[in-house]
Each structure stands twice: as C-alpha cells, then as structure tokens.
Amino acid sequence: MRGTYPPCDAIEWQSHTIQATDEAACRRIFHDINLSSKSDPDVNRLLAVLGHMPFAVTLMANLGKRGRSNAKELLDTWYKSGTDMLSVANSPERSMNRSISLLVDSDFVKQNPDALPLLAILSLLPAGTTKTIFVGGQRP
C-alpha cells in the first residue's frame, strides 16, 4: 500500500518491516520481471545499490522492462536522482512532475513518434481514460 493514511479506519492495520533479501533472490526477482536483463553485467551492481530490498528491486526491474533500459542506464539515473526517481517527499506537485518527467524523457517514449501527442491528448481529459478503447467511435 502506498500512502500516508490507511484506506479506512474500520480495519486494524498492521505494518511489517520487509527485510532485505539475499543477492541470489534479488537477481531472480529482477530477471523474472525483466527477462532481457539475464546477460546484463551491471545487474549485480544495481541490486547492491538498491540494498537488496525486494520492493526497490521489483520497481527497478519493472522500470527497466517498461523503459527498455539496461541496468547501467538505471544506475546512471539512480545516481542522478536516487529515490527521487519515485517521489519527492512533502510535495505532491513535484512528485507528479518527476513522474511525468521520467515518462516523457524515457527512451521508450522518445522512440515512438506518436507517444507525446497521445500523452498530450490524455492530459486534457479531466479523469484520464478507461480501459475501453473506441476506434472511430465504434467499440472494437
């Protein structure tokens, strides 16, 4: 769960500290999520920088997979931004701007000429969009 407050007060919530996993388990997590990373020589270094924390490893593996970034590129971004890659404390606007910046500046978006116009159109919708896609006014 992300957030400062629990979703409701009717449930007695418990929190647990998740300990670091060992290097081999982290490597398996990373490779299972990001299949293209299996021969990447920088994965171990990235995992060490993340402190072998399973949630951080999962986030970075997904970020690498979706952004088509290798471990070196993720490390470079981590060294520049650190945890700021994910959020900026006490500033929802800066967090949103950072998230948008990571998306817009990603190689995945830069490689697709239609990505930025689509993102611009989506940003104008007051409540985003649904999973239902309409093509030419017709349901697919």
Against a cut of 0.95, is the pTM above it? no
What is the total residue count of the chain? 140
| Contact status, residue 16 vs residue 10, Cβ threshold 8 Å | no
Return the pLDDT at 122: 67
| Contact status, residue 140 vs residue 101, Cβ threshold 8 Å | no
Domain chopping of the chain, boundaries: 23-124
Query: Which regions of the chain are under pLDDT 50?
Result: 1, 88, 135-136, 139-140
User: How far does the chain reach from its first CA to its final CA, in angstroms?
Assistant: 34
Nearest C-alpha neighbor of 63 from the set 33, 43, 89, 29 = 33
Tokens matching residue 33? 């999520």
Return the pLDDT at 40: 94
Tokens matching residue 28? 């398996």
DSSP one-letter code for 138: B
Tokens matching residue 97? 């701007």
Return the pLDDT at 80: 78
Residue given tokens 């689509």 in the structure block: 118
